[in-house]
């Protein structure tokens, strides 16, 4: 039954490929074109692609050089007869296939290997555990580049698909303090292929930048488990898996004098902060850094700000213990916040009204503040509303934990109440 079904599916696909399709998308990687490309190219009455791709074909038909993608897609929608789009690598991987389908077109796709596959192959590295991000569109407002940069801070093997205004130079400048090695792979498969560094400045277009931690490509990296899911979507050392849990017990962190956000409070704070890949989270007045470490375990970039040098050492220890990368800034807020990259979410675990106001001035999408005194709640709510947050809420959190008695029975042991206030844009 399964064999018959497979034959049926294959037959249907082959029939579709044999039929004259109104639109075929062919991937180009500098080598021979994919199998089956000759027929659609010979029949096409319209060719669309970059100059370097169109130069590979000598058909004397209407041609559109890709620049204005919207105009090219509009012409494809009105064209009568078979058409071919030539695109880099795998057109279904951050490529033009999505744009074509959004316009109502139903292309046959003949892919080539993606530039990411070629880039890791040039370095002889496995990449099922790599995070792949796109910085295309970053020239408009910098947001795509910023999210790519955050991903590179948080993850140890990242491929960045660049774009105008978000190229190797801009990426290298944003990661100048990161413990990362950048490799620029440009025009892969073409005679002028280059494997170089951002400092060299002699890369071509298009290019992909591999951002690697020191361990990537070493024996330690090769000995790491193969994993079962592609992409680094969770903790840096989890091989693509999400962390096994969050709101971890205080015993999971080194801390001094119980100066740590309690697990129950941290769990709610994490829910309101919503850390994710591409986000940057500040943990201000970080103490042991438990919030920053948990955000990093969930895939976000994290900066822990702490004025106590001994506390900074604890944060670094806890980050290593949980195999994540956390940037530690030693200094007192609000002064220590000056010059930090823009946050998506902020946890304020210490400091007075001036610290909260300084964080609000940076306009994070989400902010959570924790207080031990109820008198701080009212002014904090007012500050959040004045800052323009659409959702402003708060809660008192107090856990009664089960504690075993010598008899084997249990009693309840109360933790000190904590007041959480949060805002969401």
Domains detected in the chain: 18-113 (3.40.1010.10), 116-223 (3.30.950.10), 250-424 (3.40.50.150)
Share the mean pLDDT of the chain. 90
pLDDT at 59: 87
pLDDT at 422: 98
Mean pLDDT of 360-366: 98
The CA distance from 80 to 84, in Å, is 12
pLDDT > 70 in the chain, percent: 88
Under the banding of pLDDT at 50, 70 and 90, the label for residue 222 is low
Q: Sign of the CA dihedral 399, 402, 405, 411? A: positive
pLDDT at 168: 96
Kindly list the distances between the CA atom of residue 272 and the CA atoms of 145, 275, 345, 347, in Å, as whole numbers in the listed order: 25, 9, 9, 10
Question: Does residue 143 surpass a pLDDT of 70?
Answer: no
- Quickly count: other Cβ atoms within 10 Å of residue 374's Cβ: 10
The CA distance from 327 to 306, in Å, is 11
Contact 357, 380 (CB under 8 A): no
pLDDT at 244: 83
Helix ranges (H only) for 55-175 are 69-78, 97-102, 115-123, 138-141, 143-154, 168-174
Mean pLDDT of 288-303: 97
Of 13-17, 169-173, 176-180, minimum mean pLDDT range: 13-17
Tens digit of pLDDT for each residue in 258-293? Answer: 889 999 999 999 999 999 999 999 999 999 999 999
pLDDT at 339: 95
Question: Does residue 20 surpass a pLDDT of 50?
Answer: no
Question: Does residue 179 surpass a pLDDT of 70?
Answer: yes
The CA distance from 31 to 11, in Å, is 28
Under the banding of pLDDT at 50, 70 and 90, the label for residue 9 is very low
Residue that has been written with the tokens 């190229």 in this structure:
167
> Of the ranges 219-223, 288-292, 347-351, which is most confident?
288-292
- Which residue has better confidence, 365 or 14? 365
Of 242, 244, 295, the closest CA to residue 266 belongs to 295
Mean pLDDT of 387-413: 95
Contact 181, 158 (CB under 8 A): no
Contacts of 317 (CB under 8 A, 6+ apart): 254
Mean pLDDT of 384-406: 96
Contact 304, 292 (CB under 8 A): yes
User: What pairing do the DSSP bridges indicate for beta strands 280-284 and 301-306?
Assistant: parallel
């Amino acid at each position: 039954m399964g064999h018959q079904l497979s034959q049926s599916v294959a037959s249907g696909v082959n029939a579709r490929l044999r039929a004259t399709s109104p639109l075929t998308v062919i991937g180009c990687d500098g080598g021979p074109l994919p199998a089956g490309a000759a027929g659609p190219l010979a029949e096409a009455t319209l060719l669309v692609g970059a100059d370097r791709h169109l130069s590979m074909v000598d058909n004397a038909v209407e041609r559109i050089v890709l620049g204005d993608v919207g105009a090219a897609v509009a012409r494809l929608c009105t064209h009568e007869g078979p058409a071919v789009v030539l695109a880099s690598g795998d057109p279904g991987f951050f490529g033009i296939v999505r744009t074509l389908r959004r316009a109502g077109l139903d292309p046959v796709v003949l892919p080539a290997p993606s530039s990411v596959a070629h880039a890791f192959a040039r370095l002889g590295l496995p990449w099922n555990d790599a995070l792949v991000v796109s910085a295309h569109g970053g020239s408009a407002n910098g947001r795509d580049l910023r999210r790519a940069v955050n991903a590179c801070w948080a993850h140890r093997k990242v491929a960045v698909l660049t774009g105008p205004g978000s190229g190797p130079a801009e990426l290298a400048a944003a990661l100048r303090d990161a413990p990362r090695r950048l490799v620029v792979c440009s025009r892969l498969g073409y005679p002028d292929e280059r494997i170089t560094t951002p400092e060299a400045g002699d890369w071509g277009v298009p290019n992909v930048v591999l951002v690697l931690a020191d361990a990537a490509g070493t024996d330690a990296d090769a000995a790491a488990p193969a994993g079962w899911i592609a992409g680094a979507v969770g903790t840096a050392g989890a091989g693509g898996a999400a962390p096994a849990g969050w709101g971890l017990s205080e015993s999971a962190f080194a801390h001094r004098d119980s100066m740590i956000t309690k697990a129950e409070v941290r769990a709610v704070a994490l829910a309101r902060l919503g850390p994710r890949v591409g986000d940057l989270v500040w943990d201000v007045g970080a103490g042991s850094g438990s919030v920053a470490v948990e955000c990093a375990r969930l895939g976000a970039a994290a900066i822990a700000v702490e004025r106590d040098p001994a506390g900074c050492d604890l944060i670094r220890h806890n980050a290593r213990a949980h195999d994540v990368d956390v940037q530690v800034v030693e200094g007192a807020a609000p002064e220590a916040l000056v010059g930090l990259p823009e946050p998506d979410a902020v946890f304020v675990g210490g400091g007075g009204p001036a610290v909260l106001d300084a964080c609000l001035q940076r306009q994070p999408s989400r902010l959570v503040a924790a207080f031990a005194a109820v008198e701080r709640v009212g002014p904090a709510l007012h500050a959040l509303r004045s800052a323009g947050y659409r959702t402003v809420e708060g809660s008192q959190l107090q856990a009664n934990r089960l504690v075993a008695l010598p008899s084997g029975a249990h009693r309840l042991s109360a933790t000190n109440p904590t007041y959480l206030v949060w805002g969401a844009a």
